[in-house]
Amino acid sequence: MPGMHRNRIISRQRVIQLVSAALCNGYAVGFQKGRIFTGGSKAVCVPVLNCYSCPGALGACPIGALQTALGTKRHFPFYVLGTLMLFGVLLGRAVCGLLCPFGLVQDLLYKLPVPKPRVPRRLDRPARYFKYVVLAVLVVLLPALAVTEAGIASPYFCQYLCPAGTLGGGIPLLLADPMLRQVAGALFRWKVVILVVILAVSAGICRPFCKYLCPLGAFYSVFNRFSFYQMDLDKRKCVDCKQCEKTCPMNVQVTQDINSLECIRCGACKTVCPTGAISSAFK
């Protein structure tokens, strides 16, 4: 029945997000001991932004691995790029909406009962392109070109911007390890400020990091229009009530461009559609 999922205590999206977060960070002992997992599964990149220095992480962060390959090994990153393309062509940005643990954190914060200002369209639209700049400059160009005297480059995105690394890796490790606390300085304080700002903004604006800053979202968006997993709008059933567009956390114009580069396939539009005109499937 259309719209029947509205009264569920916990949505299907939330269940998938929680399972994904638990699978990506299943090494619970790491949080207790302040150590990271060192097993063979860390040779595999997870599809989401999940720092490999998180004590619970069982896989490698694709953005961190991409920067390392470009900055240290100085070669074309076949393995990481192939992995990202695989997830991209299968799921598109469903990775962001359904699998990403940092997306889950932002979604939960958006549930807080605080004012929800709407970002003016003239600001919102150009700001959406900023994530592509982050991908090009911080993840690809700087690690590939700005090499130190030692012949290696820093993972610039991880070092200066990534809030997932601070939340999942930095804070738990510093809490558990007094030695690390002693060496944490200005850079750590900078990263905590970035994290706090993003988390604070997430309470009022839905998924600001995904909308404006995430390089992984920028990469996956390229695949959104032709990935195997697609959203579909049956125009014969649509009554043009625009409930879907009012509900969409990414402000997608669902009735005009349902597989927009910004659609994270969270299924919010599908849930509120009174006629069941919206569906999503592998096709």
Partner 1 sequence: MRLPPAERTRSALKPTKKALWCLRLGTLAAAFLLIGIGLARGEHLGVLQKAVRICLECIGIG
Min dist CB 78 to partner 1, Å, is 4
What tokens appear for 261 in the block? 């580069």
| 37 is a contact residue toward partner 1 (CB under 8 A) | yes
CA torsion through residues 274, 275, 281, 283, sign: negative
- Candidates 260, 258, 256; CA nearest to 270 is 258
In the complex with partner 1, the residue whose CB is nearer, 205 or 213, is 213
Give the total of residues touching partner 1 (CB under 8 A): 60
**In the chain, which residue ranges form alpha helices assigned H by DSSP?**
12-24, 28-33, 62-68, 78-91, 94, 101-110, 121-128, 130-134, 142-145, 156-160, 163-165, 171-176, 178-183, 186-204, 208-212, 215-221, 243-247, 268-272
Span near partner 1 by CB under 8 A; candidates 4-12, 17-25, 33-41, 99-107: 33-41
For partner 1, the binding residue among 32, 146, 226, 246 (CB under 8 A) is 226
For partner 1, the binding residue among 56, 64, 215, 267 (CB under 8 A) is 64
| 159 is a contact residue toward partner 1 (CB under 8 A) | yes
Which residues are paired to 109 by β-bridges? none
| 29 is a contact residue toward partner 1 (CB under 8 A) | no
CA–CA distance, 150 with 105 (Å, rounded to integer): 37
| 73 is a contact residue toward partner 1 (CB under 8 A) | yes
Min dist CB 192 to partner 1, Å, is 7
Min dist CB 179 to partner 1, Å, is 10
Q: Which residues of 164-187 are buried (b: 16+ CB within 10 A; e: fewer)?
A: bbbbbbbbbbbebeeeeeeeeeee
For partner 1, the binding residue among 16, 184, 201, 238 (CB under 8 A) is 184
CA–CA distance, 135 with 239 (Å, rounded to integer): 39
| 103 is a contact residue toward partner 1 (CB under 8 A) | no
Positions in the binding site for partner 1 (CB under 8 A): 36-38, 40, 42-45, 51-53, 57, 59-61, 64-65, 68-69, 72-73, 75, 77-83, 85-86, 88-90, 154-155, 158-159, 162, 165-166, 169-170, 173-174, 180, 183-185, 187-188, 190-192, 223, 226-228, 256-257
